[in-house]
Amino acid sequence: MQVVTKYQLVDEILEEYRSTIKGDFKGYRNHITRMLNFCHYLMPDISAEDSQKLQIAAVFHDIALWTHNRVDYLVPSYQECHLWLESQGLNAWKEEIQVIIDMHHLITEYKGPYARLAEVFRKADLIDFSLGLVKNGVSRLFIKQVRNTIPNSGFHKTLMRFTFMQIGRNPLKPFPMMRIQNIYKE
């Protein structure tokens, strides 16, 4: 499988947030691009529409780290996404993309509504977050190709910065974005 270095829809949406994300822009863009490569690897027969949904979810999945300056970012991230979807006339996608974003830090497999895309997205994010230590069905060679082609550009340092900020704010809840259980009925 060929590594994709640019997703036009991602770049178009993300450009709207460049001044908010500032110095973290390249690292976040590259994280999104690596994730999407892993999503497409796990779902090689993906439709164009489902690929668009994943691209939109990818842009917004961590966006509230910057727009709201907080580590408990899932709800404001999908709320930000809702506004964008409404502006594009894509209201019908709101619920599915919300689930994808909301469940991307679920510790266990997601089996609720929209599980097909949500689970691929969850796996892809974990692959990138773990720097490829967790493979989730993606070949070691492809992970290496993606990581060599699309540099980290400080993304994991950014995550550490936000983690330390959260510990300073609430030391008893250092990872509020993690989901222990599925909050949607199966």
Sign of CA dihedral 57, 54, 4, 89: negative
Give the H or E element holding residue 63. none
- CATH label of the domain that carries residue 114: 1.10.3210
Res. 185: pLDDT tops 70: no
Torsion of CA 24, 30, 33, 34, to 10 degrees: -120
* CA gap 92, 114 in Å, rounded: 13
Q: Is the dihedral of CA 41, 49, 30, 120 positive or negative?
A: negative
Q: Is residue 69 part of a domain?
A: yes
In a domain, 3, yes or no: no
- Please spell the DSSP secondary structure of 80-126, one letter per residue: HHHHHHHHTT-GGGHHHHHHHHHTTTBSS---STTHHHHHHHHHHHH
- Which residue in 117, 78, 118 sits closest to 98, CA to CA? 78
Question: Is residue 148 included in any domain, yes or no?
Answer: yes
Band of pLDDT at residue 155, cut at 50, 70 and 90:
confident
Distance CA 108, CA 41 (A): 20
- The pLDDT value recorded for residue 179 is 47
Query: What is the domain range of residue 133?
Result: 8-169
- Burial track 93-105 (b if 16+ CB lie within 10 A, e otherwise): beebbbbbbbbbb
Residue 160 belongs to a domain: yes
Q: Cα–Cα distance between 61 and 55 in angstroms, integer?
A: 10
**Percent of the chain scored above 90 by pLDDT?**
66
Report the pLDDT value the prediction gives residue 36, as an integer from 0 to 100. Answer: 98
Give CA–CA dist 184/112, Å, rounded: 6
Residue 186 lies in a domain: no
Confidence of residue 122 (pLDDT cuts 50, 70, 90): very high
Tell me if 177 is assigned to some domain.
no
Count of structural domains within the chain: 1
pLDDT digits (tens, 9 = 90+) for 2-48: 999 999 999 999 999 999 999 999 999 999 999 999 999 999 999 99
Q: Residue 169 — pLDDT band, cuts 50, 70, 90?
A: low
78 pLDDT tier (thresholds 50, 70, 90) = confident
What average pLDDT does the structure give for the chain?
A: 87
Query: How many residues in total does the chain contain?
Result: 186
Q: Give the confidence band of 69 by pLDDT, cuts at 50, 70, 90.
A: confident
pTM: 0.87
- Asked if the structure places residue 85 within a domain, the reply is yes
* 3-class secondary structure, 179: strand
74 pLDDT higher than 80: no
